[in-house]
Structure 1
Amino acid sequence: MLSQPRSGLLAAWGNALLAGFVSPDDAVLAMVGEDAVHRVEGLPGETGPVGLTLALGRLRALGVTGYRVALPAPGHPLGLCGPPEFNARALDAEEAVIAVGAPYGLVPEVSAVGPEGDRHVSVLWHCLPVREAPPADVPSLGEAERELSEALREAAEVLSGLDVAASGPVAEAIVDAYRARAEAGREVLAPGYPQRAVRVLEQAQRVGLMIELAYEHGHGGAVSASEMAARGEALRPVERFARRAQVASYNAYVEERERNGPGAGV
C-alpha cells in the first residue's frame, strides 16, 4: 500500500470511530501507523499534550461529528478555511485535519531522532481554532475522479511525446495508474468508506508516484530547457488534481453525511 499523509489517516480512522465501525484502540493504532507516538496539544480544558484516545474523546464531547483533510501547497490552499494563522501552519506542514461540528483544526509537527532505518518518529498535533466556513477548492468525489483521469490522459500524451516516459519505472507507474481504477479496492481507507473513495484514493496515490518517478528519472529525451519546461507544465495540473482527489476521498464520509442528512453513515 502506498503511503498516506498523517492527516488522512487521522481523518479516515477518526470518521470510522465516530461512525462506530472501529474501537478507539484500533483507530489510534491505525492513526499512529509506523510512528512511535502521537500526542495532541492545545485541546480546550487540557493544560498539556494528551494521547490520541483522550484527544479524540474530548473532541467528540466538544461537538465534533466528522473530520476533513486539507493538503495545501504554495498558491493552492486546498481544504483550508482560515483563519490566516491556521492556514499558515497548515501550509508549512503541507497538511491538516479540520473538524466538522466544532471550530477546531489539527496540524502535525513531526520530530525524528536516530539513524536512518532506526528512527524514532513522534508527532505532536497542534489543536487550533478554525473558521467555520466551506473548505477551499475541494471537489466532490465524482468530480475528482473525472478530472484526475482526464488530466492523467493528457499528461501521458505530453510525456510520451517528450520521451519522458521511456524509462521502465515511469512507464510502469503510468500504466499502473490507469489500472488502479479497475482493481478491486484494497483497504487504503478505514472501514465503512465507499468503494469509490477507495478507488479514487488509490489512483491518486499511484499518480503521485508517477509524478515523483517522472521528476527523478524522467529526463529521457527531454534534454532541452524548453522540453523540460513542457514536462513541468504537463505534470503540474496532474499533481494538483491528484491532491484534490486525495482530499475528496478522505472527505467522502463528511460528503455522504451532508448529502444524506445527519443520521447517515459512510
Structure 2
Amino acid sequence: MLAEPRSGRLAAWGNALLAGFVAPDDAVQAVVGEDSVHRVEGIPGEPGPIGLTLALGRLRALGVTGLRVALPVPGHPLGLSGPAEFNTAALAAGEAVLCQGAALGLVPEVVEAGPRGDVHVEVVWRCAPVREAPPADVPSLSEAERELAEALREATALLSRLDLAGSGPVAQAAADAYRVRAEGGRELLAPGYPPRAVRVLELAQRVGLLVSVADEYASEHRTGGAVSAAEWAARSGALRPVERTARRAQVAAYNAYVEAGEGKGNR
C-alpha cells in the first residue's frame, strides 16, 4: 500500500495531459518514474508496442477523455467493470487503468532485468476491450474521506491493543519511509486534481502504512514463534476491512478527475 501504483501515476498524469495541464514529455516522465521505459501494446490500429507519448496521443484520438484506476484483489474487483478476461488480467497484476470515452483498459506487465543492484524495470501496458459499465465499489471522495477517518481510528486502536503501534524495527523503518516521502515534497497527484483528492490519497497512504506495519511486524514474530496461527488469523482478519477501506479511498482519489467531470466529485 505504501508503494504508489503505476496505474495511479498513469491515470493521474494521463488525465493532466488530456486536460492540457502538463506537456507530454513531463507527463510521461512522471509516469515512468524510476522505471527504465514504458510501452503500450494492443491499441486499436497499432500493429505492435508503441511508446507512452504516442500511446496517450492515440488514446485521445480514439475518444478517451479521462483515465480511471482499478486496484482489485481476490474477492474484491475494485474499480473493474468486466469482461472476465480483462478482470482476470487486472487481478493478476493487482491494478489496471480504464479509459473514459472509449471501451478500453490497460494492465501493466512488469519485467525486471539486469544484475542485482542494477535492475532495470520495463513496463508493457496491455490494452484490451472493457465493458462500458460503472466501476465496481468505488466511493465518492466525500464517502472515502468519512470512511478513512473511521478506519484510521480503528487501525490505531487495534495496533495499540496488539502492541504493534510504533514498536520494532519494521514499524520504525516503515514510519521513516513514510516521513521521507512526505517531507520530500513529492507531488501526490498531478495538476488539475482537487485538493480534497490529495487529502484523501495522503490519508489512505497513512492508513495503508498502519496495515503494512501490522502485517510485517506480526509476520516477523510469527516466524520467531511469538505469534500463533490463531493470533495471526485474528490480526489479519481484523485489518482486512481497514485495508479494503484504504484501497477504495486510493481509487476514489485517483478517479476524482473523471468524477469531477461527471459532476460526482463531491457526492
Once the two structures are TM-superposed, the CA of residue 258 in structure 1 deviates from its matched residue by 0.2
SS in 2 for 1:124: strand
Q: Give the distance between the partners of 2:172 and 2:28, measured in 1 at CA.
A: 37
Q: Which residue does 2:241 correspond to in 1? A: 237
- Say what the alpha-carbon RMSD is for the aligned residues: 2.7
Once the two structures are TM-superposed, the CA of residue 224 in structure 1 deviates from its matched residue by 4.0
Gaps of 5+ in 1: 262-266
Q: Which amino acid aligns with 1:134?
A: P
Once the two structures are TM-superposed, the CA of residue 228 in structure 1 deviates from its matched residue by 2.6
Quickly say closer, same or farther: Cα 1:59–1:173, change in 2 above 3 A: same
Once the two structures are TM-superposed, the CA of residue 102 in structure 1 deviates from its matched residue by 0.5
* 8 Å CA contact 2:108, 2:126 repeated in 1: yes
Gaps of 5+ in 2: none
Q: Which residue does 2:120 correspond to in 1? A: 120
**Which aligned pairs between 1:80-119 and structure 2 lie closer than 5 A?**
80-119=80-119
Q: Which residue does 1:264 correspond to in 2? A: none
Q: Which amino acid aligns with 1:255?
A: E
Identity of aligned residues (%): 73
SS in 2 for 1:106: strand
Once the two structures are TM-superposed, the CA of residue 3 in structure 1 deviates from its matched residue by 3.3
Q: Which amino acid aligns with 2:248?
A: R
TM-score of the two chains, using structure 1 as the length reference: 0.88
Q: Which amino acid aligns with 2:58?
A: R
Quickly say closer, same or farther: Cα 1:111–1:171, change in 2 above 3 A: closer
Q: Which residue does 1:39 correspond to in 2? A: 39
Q: Which residue does 1:16 correspond to in 2? A: 16
Q: CA offsets per residue over residues 191-231 of structure 1, 9 Å max, x none?
A: 111111111111212222222221112449x7344433321
* 8 Å CA contact 2:155, 2:207 repeated in 1: no
Q: Which amino acid aligns with 1:256?
A: A
TM-score of the two chains, using structure 2 as the length reference: 0.88
Q: Give the distance between the partners of 2:167 and 2:264, measured in 1 at CA.
A: 47
Q: Which amino acid aligns with 1:243?
A: R
1:259 aligns with 2:266: no
Once the two structures are TM-superposed, the CA of residue 173 in structure 1 deviates from its matched residue by 6.4
Q: CA offsets per residue over residues 37-96 of structure 1, 9 Å max, x none?
A: 111111111100000111111100110000000000000000000000000000000000
Q: Which residue does 1:6 correspond to in 2? A: 6
Once the two structures are TM-superposed, the CA of residue 172 in structure 1 deviates from its matched residue by 9.3
Q: Give the distance between the partners of 1:204 and 1:118, measured in 2 at CA.
A: 31
Q: Give the distance between the partners of 2:259 and 2:112, measured in 1 at CA.
A: 35
**Which aligned pairs between 1:87-236 and structure 2 lie closer than 5 A?**
87-165=87-165, 167-168=167-168, 170=171, 187-218=187-218, 219=221, 223-236=227-240
Q: Which amino acid aligns with 1:248?
A: A
Q: How many residues end up aligned between the 2 structures?
A: 257
Q: Give the distance between the partners of 1:234 and 1:158, measured in 2 at CA.
A: 8
* 8 Å CA contact 1:186, 1:198 repeated in 2: no
Q: CA offsets per residue over residues 10-40 of structure 1, 9 Å max, x none?
A: 0000100111100011101111111111111
Q: Give the distance between the partners of 2:9 and 2:79, measured in 1 at CA.
A: 16
Q: Which amino acid aligns with 1:223?
A: V
1:60 aligns with 2:60: yes
